[in-house]
Each structure stands twice: as structure tokens, then as C-alpha cells.
Amino acid sequence: MTDILTVSNLVKRYKDVTAVNGVSFSVPEGICFGLLGPNGAGKTTTVEMLEGIIKPTAGTIAYFGAIANRDSKSAIGIQFQNTSLQDYLTVRETLELFRSFYRVTMPLEQLVQLCALDAFLDRDNRKLSGGQRQRLLLALALVNDPKILFLDEPTTGLDPQARRNFWDLVKDIKKENKTIMLTTHYMDEAQELCDEIAVMDQGRIIEQGTPMALLKHHFNGVLLQLPAHDCGALPAELEFHQVDSQLEHATSDLDGALQRLLAAGTSLEGLKIRSPNLEDLFLKLTGHRLRD
Amino acid sequence: MINGRRLLAIFKARNIEFFRDKSALTWNLAFPVLILIGFSFIFGGEQRAEYKVGVLGGDSSALAALPFHDTRFVDFVDYDQAPEAERKLQQHRLDLLIDPAARQYWVNEESPKSYLAEQLLLGGSQDFQRTPMTGRPIRYVDWVVPGIIGMNMMFSCLFGVGYVIVRYRKNGVLKRLKATPVTAMEFVSAQVLSRLLIVLVFSAVIYIGCDFLLDFYMAGSWRDLLLIATLGAFSLISLGLLVASRSQSEELTGGLLNFASWPMMFLSGVWFSLEGAPHWVQQMAQTLPLTHLIDGARAIMSDGAGLADISYQITMLVGMSALFLVLAAFLFKWHPD
């Protein structure tokens, strides 16, 4: 696979903050690459530099091996986190407006079908529900039939059903052989959609790889959870750390761990056993809660 | 630099947005119409109590020798140019025009006051040669119509461009456009053209509609009036662009736009003539684009001025537009960095 996007030593400094501090990564063609991190980690600043919206203080961005320029814009599609649409236009008119900006465009019928816009094609932009709006914004990002699609926190504020629907659309789009660059602070979303992730915190990438490989590398086995209160005595030889109201222990030897708990007289009433997920990984890496 | 297809698409979208916003649309039409109709009622019955007589020839001793000169409540005004004085007589702004040395006078046969002034003159001296003229009166509403429509154009241009661009910048419409191949030039040109079209169509509709009711006095050419209206609107739109070039605060922009529009409301001669105002006020008014728009339009409508007569106003409007546009292009930002 060739790399569609290569970023090296990207820096963005504002007056008194360094929002992005030396970020490097590359994205192979055809995958969904997730840029994860808490609010304020520098994700949006990073992607906006990639999109050509803001200028980097230092570093280079290359599409297909060539340094990004004005023409790169016709190869990328962007769904912004917060965008207003022009008032008083219908969904169809908005799509036609954006289609007229590009030389190469995806046919209207294909956009409508791909983003499930059929039911509200002639509705005023202002009267769309949250989910419908996000689908229209997705369609606008696809209007120029881009090779690479940027989705910046696309499901923030959507209800669970609308989020699942949106994920299905993104999976369909991936099948069209598009590369997707997803920014999110929802770990379930990343786990659902991403082939490869990079975790950002305080302007830097602190870990990068496929979700499976990263989980394997940072956790062996499963997570044991006990309620922090009324679990009785804990065996001294097992290391627990507290996450909210839960005590957590990671182990590759579940039988052994359970025997030790029983032997110590720990109450197993509230015991939970589960596989670690990206959220656990993130907490381990950054040491603070995600959505604070 | 400019792609016509993209420009046209934004132009169309902006027009649709404007014409679908029914409440704003109604207000844009109703406001000037209501003012004009109100004014024609309020000032419709106004009559000057005294007689105003124009005097040609500049010979004060010949005038003083006339018994007419001693009549009370007659105001004598000297004129150097016969055509100017004749127009004023036709417009009922003078009741009689006399040349005492040449023993000649002009009378407007459609004006009752002109007839009475003629009787007063002939009561003292019968050896004057009579030249009859005709002409309908120029009313306050005729005088004020370029001012009201100009003022409406000013608000529409300043707020319709300035406010809208700042709103687009604040809510992310501009940011979304920046991510497309659309250039700032294409976007701004589309906004300017859309507003120019809207303002001219609206002003024409308002003028024609009110003309139907009030029958305005129009001495000059329609083509010249359209030209000065276009230039005036363009310079006001450019000023709106300049104000909106980089702010993303609607409050600040609203304040700046008010700061630009209120002096024009009062100093550009919308409601009253500045002829008697202090010199510095008149000088200040010359820096306002609306002044030149209204002066030019009034000269065409009341005095039948041609383009050569209003070349000063045309030059000023073109110059101001160029200045505002260059500054706006220099300062313009899609979004705060």
C-alpha cells in the first residue's frame, strides 16, 4: 500500500500555547486512520493544518508524496466539527452549490444514496435533525469524490441510534476505496471504524498502531473490576488501581487471580471481567479521564 | 483568478437566501415606502407665506426704483444665470423672475402665487415685457425621495454585506468555503454582485411604486440616475466589505456599521439641505459616499443635470469605492487564525 498522506514534524504555535508540538505520521491508502485524544489535545488543529485551513508554524504535509498546495484541496473532502450551512437553502440546493465548486464531482444520485439523504432532499437546512445534518455535511465532504475524507468528531451530539447509522455510512464509504481520517474522542467509535490509530495528548502523538496491536502491547489478558467499597480485603500480591468507583486489575492468569481473591476473602459480589478496550488504553497512556 | 461558475453559484445561493427571508424582504420594501408616503402627507400642505422673486441683471438701483420693490413680504434673490433662475420659477421655488434693467419678467402660468406676484409687479409698472413659462411645482417629497431611497440603499448595502459576512465568518460558513477551491475574490465578488442586484432592483421597485402614487418630479435622464445609483450602491457595499473584512463579532460589526451609517443619516442631506450648515460640517459630509449619491441623484431629478454636471460626484464615488475595496482586500480574512 502506498501512503496517501505523510506528515512530518508538524508544529503549530499560537501566542502563548503550542497546540501541536512535532507530530509525524503517515496514512496508507484505503484505511481509516483515527486520531484520538481528549478535548484540547490538538487533534482539530492538526487536521485543520492537513486540510489547508490553517498554516503550520513548522513541518511538512505531503499528499501522494508531493507537498500540499492549493490543488490538494480538490483531492480531499472535509466534514467539520461545527459548520453552519447557508440559511434558506434546501439540502439539494446546498449540494448543487458545493458541486459547482469542483471540476470533478460525484453524481448527485450517488451522494444521496450513499448518505441516505432521500427523505429530506428538499427540506430547508435549518429544519434538519442532528443526524440528518451530519449526513448532509458528510455528503458535502464527498461532493468532489475525494481520495481522502476528513471527519472531525462526526458523531458528537448524536443519539446512539443516529451514531450507529452514521458508522454504517462511513463503513459503506470505506468500501468505495476512500481513505478516511477520523478525529474523535469516542473510543467506541474508533474501535468500530479505525484500522489504525494515533493517540494524541498535549500536542504530541503518544502512541500509534492498529487497535489490536496496541491493546496487545499494553494489556495482557483481561481486566478484573471490583467495586471500590464493600469488596472486603484484597490480596496484597495483586496490584489494583482505582478508576472512579471501581478497583481494576489487569491479568493474563484469570484462574490464578480469582483463586487469590477467594483465598484473601474478597467479596466477589460486584465482580466484572472484561477485555480491555481503547478507553482503557487511553487512560493507561494519559493517566486522566477522557471526557473531562 | 476568478472562476465564473463558482462565482455564479455563490451569487445565486445568496440571492435565494435573501428572497426567501420573507420578513427581512418585507421590511426592506415597506420601510422606505412608509416614510415617503408619510412625508407626502405631513409636508403636502406646506406653503411659504411670503413671495420669492428672482432678480436678473445685478442692477440694484434699477430694482430699487420699482414701486414693486417696496411691497412687504416679498423676498428678492439675485441670480447670475438665467437658466438656473428659470428652472426655479418652473419648479415654483421662485414666484416671479424679473430683469428690471431690461424691463422684462417671466411668470409661471401654472402657479397661483406667480399670478399674484405678477399682479403686484404690474400694479406699479406696466412697461415690462411678459414671458410666460409653465412647470409643475417641486414638492418636499420630490426633493426628499433621493434621500430616502439613498438611505435605504445605504442600510441595505452596509448591513446586507457587512453583517452577513461577519455572520458567515462566525458560524463557520466561511471556513467551510475556504476548504473548497473557492477563492476569497470569487466569494467577495459574488456577495457584492448579489447585493448590488438586490439593492438596485429594490430601489427601482420602491421608486416606481411610489412614483405611481406620488408622481415624482423627474427632470433628468433615467440612464444617468441608474448610473449614479449603481456607483453609489457599489461604494457603500465596498464600505460594508471593509468594515466586515476581518471581525467575527456581530456586536462589534453592528457597532461599526452604525458608526458609519449614522453620520450619513444626518450629514449626507437625506432629510434636509446642508446649504446653511457650518463649513466644517459641509466638509465632513464630502467624505461620506451617501452625500455624493444623493447630491448626484437630486441634481439629475430636480435640475435635469447630465453626467458632465455631476462629474464631481461620479469621481468621488469611484475614488471612494476603489479606496474601500483595496483596503478591504488587504485586510480580508476567511477566519481568525
Q: What is the pLDDT of residues B34-82, one digit of tens each?
A: 888 887 777 766 556 688 899 988 777 888 888 888 888 888 888 888 8
Residue A80: strand, helix, or coil? coil
Average pLDDT (A47-74) is 85
pLDDT tens sequence across A157-206: 888 888 998 999 999 998 888 999 999 888 889 988 999 999 998 899 98
- Cβ distance B180 to A98 less than 8 Å, yes or no, reads yes
Chain position carrying cell 458609519: B260
Q: In this predicted structure, what is the pLDDT of residue B111? A: 87
* In a shared domain, residues B315 and B182: yes
What residues in A contact B182, CB-CB < 8 Å?
Answer: 101
Q: In this predicted structure, what is the pLDDT of residue B295? A: 94
* In a shared domain, residues B26 and B110: no
Give the residue from A131, A143, A152, A130 showing the smallest Cα distance to A92.
A143
Beta bridge partners of A184: A36
Average pLDDT (A88-106) is 92
Q: Is the pLDDT at A8 greater than 60, yes or no? A: yes
Element (H, E) at B55: strand B51-55
Within a 10 A sphere around the Cβ of B233, how many other Cβ atoms? Answer: 27
Q: Which of B133, B153, B187 is the last residue of a domain?
A: B133
What residues in B contact A54, CB-CB < 8 Å?
Answer: 337
* Cα first-last separation, chain B: 23
- Cβ distance A85 to B173 less than 8 Å, yes or no, reads yes
Q: In this predicted structure, what is the pLDDT of residue A46? A: 92
∠ Cα A186 A191 A197 (to 5°): 85
What residues in A contact B178, CB-CB < 8 Å?
Answer: 53
Q: Is B190 on the interface with A (CB under 8 A)?
A: no
Give the three cell numbers for residue B86.
428659470
Best residue of A73, A83, A90 to probe chain B, by most B CBs closer than 10 Å = A83
* Cα first-last separation, chain A: 37
Q: In this predicted structure, what is the pLDDT of residue A290? A: 44
Q: In this predicted structure, what is the pLDDT of residue B37? A: 84
> What whole-number distance in Å separates Cα of residue A43 and Cα of residue A150?
12
**Torsion sign, CA atoms B194, B195, B197, B198:** positive
∠ Cα A60 A194 A201 (to 5°): 55
Low-confidence residues of chain B: pLDDT under 50 = none
* In a shared domain, residues B273 and B177: yes
Q: Which of B133, B162, B193 is the last residue of a domain?
A: B133
* In a shared domain, residues B236 and B278: yes
Q: In this predicted structure, what is the pLDDT of residue A11? A: 93
Q: Which of B133, B161, B194 is the last residue of a domain?
A: B133
**Torsion sign, CA atoms A12, A15, A18, A19:** negative
* In a shared domain, residues B151 and B251: yes
- Cβ distance A97 to B175 less than 8 Å, yes or no, reads no
- Cβ distance B176 to A80 less than 8 Å, yes or no, reads yes
* In a shared domain, residues B30 and B55: no
pLDDT tens sequence across A249-268: 888 888 888 888 888 888 88
CA distance A14 to chain B (A): 9
Domain hosting B33: range is 4-42+139-331
Give the residue from B117, B121, B139 showing the smallest Cα distance to B50.
B117
> What whole-number distance in Å separates Cα of residue B196 and Cα of residue B231?
10
- Cβ distance B17 to A55 less than 8 Å, yes or no, reads no
Q: Is residue B168 part of a domain?
A: yes
Q: Is residue B273 part of a domain?
A: yes
Phi, psi of B102 (to 5 degrees): -85, 0
The CA distances from residue B48 to A68, B7, B236, in Å, are 75, 54, 36
Strands A58-63 and B51-55: unpaired
Q: Is B279 on the interface with A (CB under 8 A)?
A: no
Lowest mean pLDDT among A18-22, A93-97, B271-275: B271-275
Q: Is residue B108 part of a domain?
A: yes
* In a shared domain, residues B152 and B175: yes
* In a shared domain, residues B194 and B255: yes
Average pLDDT (A219-243) is 81
Give the residue from A57, A103, A58, A72 showing the smallest Cα distance to A5.
A72
Q: Is residue B187 part of a domain?
A: yes
Q: How many domains does chain B have?
A: 2
- For residue B18, give the chain A residue with the closest CA: A88
Q: Is residue B336 part of a domain?
A: no
- Cβ distance A70 to B181 less than 8 Å, yes or no, reads yes
Strands A32-36 and A196-201: parallel
- Cβ distance A53 to B178 less than 8 Å, yes or no, reads yes
* In a shared domain, residues B262 and B303: yes
Best residue of A84, A91, A99, A123 to probe chain B, by most B CBs closer than 10 Å = A84
Q: Is residue B337 part of a domain?
A: no
> What whole-number distance in Å separates Cα of residue B207 and Cα of residue B32?
9
CA distance A236 to chain B (A): 54
pTM above 0.90, yes or no: no
> What whole-number distance in Å separates Cα of residue A204 and Cα of residue A198?
10
One-letter amino acid for residue A6 of the chain: T
Kindly list the residues of chain A whose beta carbon comes within 8 Å of any beta carbon in chain B: 51-55, 70, 73-74, 78, 80, 82-89, 93, 96-98, 100-102, 140, 144
CA distance A201 to chain B (A): 22
* In a shared domain, residues B72 and B157: no
| Beta carbon pairs, A and B, within 8 Å | 66
Rounded to the nearest 10°, the torsion over CA B191, B196, B197, B198 is 80
Which B positions 23-82 lie with beta carbon below 8 A of chain A?
none
| A22: CB partners within 8 A, 6+ apart | A9, A10, A11, A59, A203, A204
* In a shared domain, residues B289 and B218: yes
| A94: CB partners within 8 A, 6+ apart | A85, A86, A125, A136, A140
Residue A5: strand, helix, or coil? strand
Element (H, E) at A226: strand A222-227
Average pLDDT (A92-105) is 92
* In a shared domain, residues B281 and B192: yes
Chain position carrying cell 452596509: B158
Beta bridge partners of B327: none
Q: What's the distance, CA B194 to chain centroid?
A: 22
Q: Is residue B237 part of a domain?
A: yes
Q: Is residue B221 part of a domain?
A: yes
What residues in A contact B175, CB-CB < 8 Å?
Answer: 53, 80, 83
The CA distances from residue A71 to A51, A66, B183, in Å, are 11, 11, 12
**Rg of chain B (C-alpha set):** 25
Q: In this predicted structure, what is the pLDDT of residue A291? A: 43
- Cβ distance B179 to A101 less than 8 Å, yes or no, reads no
Give the residue from A230, A152, A90 showing the smallest Cα distance to B17.
A90
pLDDT band, residue A292 (cuts 50/70/90): very low
Give the three cell numbers for residue B6.
463558482
Q: Is the pLDDT at A289 greater than 60, yes or no? A: no
> What whole-number distance in Å separates Cα of residue B269 and Cα of residue B291?
7
Choice between A81 and A247, residue whose per-residue pLDDT is larger? A247
What residues in A contact B165, CB-CB < 8 Å?
Answer: none
- Cβ distance B176 to A74 less than 8 Å, yes or no, reads no
